[in-house]
Amino acid sequence: MKNLHIIGLLLMLLLTTEVFAQKPSKELLTPDNHALLLIDHEGQMAFAVNGIDPIQLRNNVGLVSGASKIFDIPTVVTTVAEDSFSGPVFPEISEFYPNKQTYIDRTTMNTWEDKNAHKAITGKNKKKLVMAGLWTSVCVVGPVVSALDEGYDVYVITDASGDVSPEAHDMAVQRMIQAGAKPITSLQYLLELQRDWARSETYEAVNQLAMRFGGGYGLGIQYARKMLKH
């Protein structure tokens, strides 16, 4: 009888654990709980970036842009003085968002202060916002702290952003964290959206994107597919 009681308690514990395991944190990003803002990933802005290799930066931006397309994330692409100064967006963005007419070009360094940009971002009706851009200390800090001030929950993709020096980038990231922003990385963004490899509808696209832009992780996927006959 005592053994049966113990078994019953163990089964109850297992069932309870299973129930709780089905409730992921509300802090996690999902395909339907946020909007993405890509800020000024343009040639002129990238020329002065120091602290992240330009190839790595472009790959990270490719991961983010591709992920947003795979998971159909409401996305706003902004530029600053595109035709007169900063030039076109990275190919890793225009590949996934080829319609230049949807980009929002500005003169203000703070995207949040531009009427059209603010309307486009807030019009997505998402309380969570994910941002990345160039430069971190100017064009990213501005909208991040402004959105936080308006009550948004803001995530910053730090390795899809960059600045004129490592210190400028790092201090900007620290400032945003102190204001309440949450730092994440590009690959983390992709995998957090997938989160379950049983999600077959996005499985192949995610793996293909990772193999293309994911560096060593992508090579690992390619190796496994070949050597393990996956």
How does pLDDT run across 114-172, given as a tens digit for each residue? 999 999 999 999 999 999 999 999 999 999 999 999 999 999 999 999 999 999 999 99
- DSSP of 138-157: IIIHHHHHHHHHTT-EEEEE
Predicted confidence at residue 225, as pLDDT, reads 87
Kindly tell me if the per-residue pLDDT of 25 is higher than 90.
yes
Does the bond joining 135 to the residue before it have cis omega, within 30 degrees of 0?
A: yes
- Predicted pLDDT of residue 11: 52
Local structure of 90: helix, strand or coil: coil
Reference 57, options 90, 83, 81, 80; nearest CA is: 90
Element housing 79 (H / E) = strand 75-80
**Contact residues for 60 (Cβ-Cβ < 8 A; gap 6+):** 157, 159, 160, 185, 186, 187, 213
Class of domain 34-191: alpha beta
Is 139 one of the annotated active-site residues of the chain?
yes
Residues of the chain with CATH 3.40.50.850: 34-191
Res 116: pLDDT: 97
Between 38 and 230, name the one with better pLDDT: 38
Q: Which of 67, 139, 160, 206 is catalytic?
A: 139
Note the pLDDT of residue 161: 98
pLDDT the model gives residue 228 = 83
Give 22's pLDDT tier (boundaries 50, 70, 90): confident
| pLDDT (mean) for 89-94 | 97
Taking Cα atoms as reference points, which of 73, 40, 13 lies closest to residue 193? 73
Please state the pTM of the whole predicted model: 0.89
pLDDT in tens, 159-211: 999 999 999 999 999 999 999 999 999 999 999 999 999 999 999 999 999 99
Q: What is the pLDDT of residue 5?
A: 57
pLDDT at 117: 97
Rounded CA separation 121/173 (Å): 21
Contacts of 70 by beta carbon, 8 Å cutoff, 6+ apart: 193, 202, 205, 206, 209
pLDDT at 7: 55
* Assigned token pair, 99: 């319609």
Distance CA(104)–CA(89), nearest Å, equals 12
Q: What is the pLDDT of residue 69?
A: 98
* pLDDT tens figures, 36-87: 999 999 999 999 999 999 999 999 999 999 999 999 999 999 998 777 788 8
Q: Which residues, other chains included, contact 109 with Cβ-Cβ below 8 Å and sequence gap of 6+?
A: 80, 138, 139, 142
